[in-house]
Amino acid sequence: MSSAPTMAGLPLLRERPVRAGERWVFSAGFNVGPALADTTRIDCEVPDLLRLARAGARVAVLAHQGSHRDGTARSLEYVAGHLGRVLGREVGYHPGSTGDGAVERALALRDGEVVLFGNTRHHAGEEAGDPELARRFALLGDLVAVGGFSKAHRAHASNTGILHHRPGWAADSLLAETAALAPWAGRAPGTRSVAVLGGVKPEKTLIGLRRLAETYDVVVPGGVVLTTLLRVLGHKVGRSELGSSPGKCAEAASRVLAGSRAEIHLPERVVVRGPGGDARTVDLADGVPADHAIVDFELPARTRETLRQLREHGGRALMAGTPSRWTDGFGAAARPLLDAFAGPGVRALLLGGDTVAELPWNGPVSGGGGSALQYLADGTCAVFDALRSQHSTGRTATP
Ligand SMILES: Nc1ncnc2c1ncn2[C@@H]1O[C@H](COP(=O)(O)OP(=O)(O)O)[C@@H](O)[C@H]1O
Ligand SMILES: O=C(OP(=O)(O)O)[C@H](O)COP(=O)(O)O
């Protein structure tokens, strides 16, 4: 794990003079639901977008939301409305992002105009990094500003794919996000370090558990990280959520259980919910009933002691992924963790889209979940590597 990630070799938007009339694609990550519960991922792009627009650039914004695979990708009109309000200028919306209509709309942009194009995840090829889709996205502009830290760890058509066709520069939003993560990177000798992992995405186990177990003192697993660990240890987990990559996650969890620097705090009692929605707390030793799922857990004594010490002596803490089903009213694990995180000497960070949107927290946040974990683990992400590589070779293909 790198404690001093470097931006060396990265082409920076702030160092690229912007001229009136230039056609820019701005690659963003507006993966925010229509309730706009947390708008960090939109608001963080405002300074870069304003710089482009004020210089007279013609800006086509390309963003992803939801997923094509599970049908959760929506029209982004609600994002255009919010973006217009925070930019203080009108932001148009064009529902498509490829094809003649989209290209015509992009060619008709006026100097200083910002238009949000359709959700890139309306296309199956976005998440697959389809080169043909990337080529079609590239027709919306001549130059690419790369923001969207939340998808920096993905090699998708709209962020790394498009760089095969157009020169790209890293937006200041990427630099701000990575700089803000520095206190949580690497080991922190002499500082108590506590990582809470949860949620449902496999990165929390594949990157978070695996890598933070090397650099933090205590890992408190929740969500799918917890159910995976319990299953690997031979507990019956009933119908508990195991996420989209149970096999790979089980492998990673086994390796961590075989030996890690961090103490992995597992609960003794978990809250389970049955098919009728009834919830109760059971001893893990008794197993989770076959038709029940773990939705929350009680913090074990040693975690409560760790939190007491954190509050009393300070330290460093992060939470990646909601540890329990908070939005269904289950807060037994999350509440005391957040209370301790808010302690005066505690430097605490919440990261991830859902985590930040749903939990009550006024402290530091990162707009990336998987991307932030990836960056903390490796000091880089797919999009930084793609930008560097393009910059060093200077190669782009005509779309
Ligand atoms: N035991 C659990 N079973 C199912 N879902 C869970 C469980 N614990 C937490 N979750 C859910 O995980 C979601 C957040 O997961 P994830 O998308 O991975 O986080 P983020 O978007 O913050 O990176 C929350 O909405 C929460 O309800
Ligand atoms: O929400 C996101 O990631 P996160 O939940 O890990 O913060 C990003 O927008 C990436 O989305 P994806 O995990 O569907 O590729």
Q: What is the residue whose two structure tokens read 């003079």?
A: 17
**Residue of the nearest CA to atom 8 in ligand 2?**
150
Could you say which ligand is closest to the alpha carbon of residue 197? 1
- Classify the phi-psi angles of 12: left when phi > 0, otherwise alpha if psi is within -120 to 50, otherwise beta: beta
Instruction: Give residue 289's pLDDT.
Output: 96
Please, which pLDDT band fits residue 6 given cuts at 50, 70 and 90? Answer: low
Three-class SS string for 141-167?
CCEEEECCHHHCCCCCCCCCHHHHCCC
State the distance between the two ends of the chain, measured CA to CA, in whole angstroms: 37
Instruction: Give residue 3's pLDDT.
Output: 40
Half-sphere exposure of 14 (CA within 13 A, CB side): 8
- In terms of C-beta density within 10 A (0-12 exposed, 13-18 middle, 19 or more buried), how is residue 204 classed? buried
Instruction: Give residue 78's pLDDT.
Output: 97
Please, which pLDDT band fits residue 8 given cuts at 50, 70 and 90? Answer: confident
65 lines ligand 2 (CB under 6 A): no
- Spatial distance between the Cα atoms of 219 and 197, rounded to a whole number of angstroms: 7
327 lines ligand 1 (CB under 6 A): yes
Instruction: Give residue 397's pLDDT.
Output: 84
Give the mean model confidence (pLDDT) for residues 148-173.
98
Q: What is the residue whose two structure tokens read 């890690």?
A: 260
What is the crossing angle of helices 172-181 and 370-378, to 10°?
A: 70
Identify whether the C-beta of residue 208 lies closer than 8 Å to the C-beta of residue 225.
Answer: yes
Please, which pLDDT band fits residue 2 given cuts at 50, 70 and 90? Answer: very low
- pLDDT score of 1 more than 80: no
Q: What is the pLDDT of residues 209-255, one digit of tens each?
A: 999 999 999 999 999 999 999 999 999 999 999 999 999 999 999 99
Q: What domains lie within the chain, and their CATH numbers?
A: 13-179+380-393 (3.40.50.1260), 186-378 (3.40.50.1260)
Give the mean model confidence (pLDDT) for residues 68-72.
95
Could you say which ligand is closest to the alpha carbon of residue 350? 1
- Tokens read off for 75: 């029209």
- Spatial distance between the Cα atoms of 206 and 298, rounded to a whole number of angstroms: 24
Q: Among residues 154, 278, 161, which one has the least CA distance to residue 207?
A: 154
Could you say which ligand is closest to the alpha carbon of residue 223? 1
Q: What is the pLDDT of residues 40-56, one digit of tens each?
A: 999 999 999 999 999 99
- Mutational pocket test of ligand 2: of 74, 79, 151, the residue with most ligand atoms within 8 Å of the beta carbon: 151
Q: What is the pLDDT of residues 303-353, one digit of tens each?
A: 999 999 999 999 999 999 999 999 999 999 999 999 999 999 999 999 999
Identify whether the C-beta of residue 319 lies closer than 8 Å to the C-beta of residue 355.
Answer: yes
Give me the DSSP letters along 166-213.
Answer: S-EEE-HHHHHHHHHHGGGSS--TTS-EEEEE-SS-THIIIIIIHHHH
Centre of ligand 1 from the C-alpha of residue 224, in Å: 8
Centre of ligand 2 from the C-alpha of residue 131, in Å: 21
Identify whether the C-beta of residue 318 lies closer than 8 Å to the C-beta of residue 338.
Answer: no
Pairing of the two strands 58-63 and 23-28: parallel
41 lines ligand 1 (CB under 6 A): no
Which atom of ligand 2 lies closest to the CA of 373?
Answer: 6
Q: Among residues 380, 318, 387, 386, which one has the least CA distance to residue 178?
A: 380
Give me the DSSP letters along 232-277.
Answer: HTT---TT----S-HHHHHHHHHHHHH--SSEE---SEEEEE-TTS
As a whole-number percent, the residues of the chain with pLDDT over 70 amount to 98
Identify whether the C-beta of residue 376 lies closer than 8 Å to the C-beta of residue 216.
Answer: no
Instruction: Give residue 4's pLDDT.
Output: 41
CA angle in degrees (0–180, nearest 5) for 85-121-373: 80
Please, which pLDDT band fits residue 394 given cuts at 50, 70 and 90? Answer: confident
Q: What is the pLDDT of residues 358-382, one digit of tens each?
A: 999 999 999 999 999 999 999 999 9
67 lines ligand 2 (CB under 6 A): yes
As a whole-number percent, the residues of the chain with pLDDT over 90 amount to 95
Q: What is the mean pLDDT of the chain?
A: 96
CA angle in degrees (0–180, nearest 5) for 177-178-184: 105
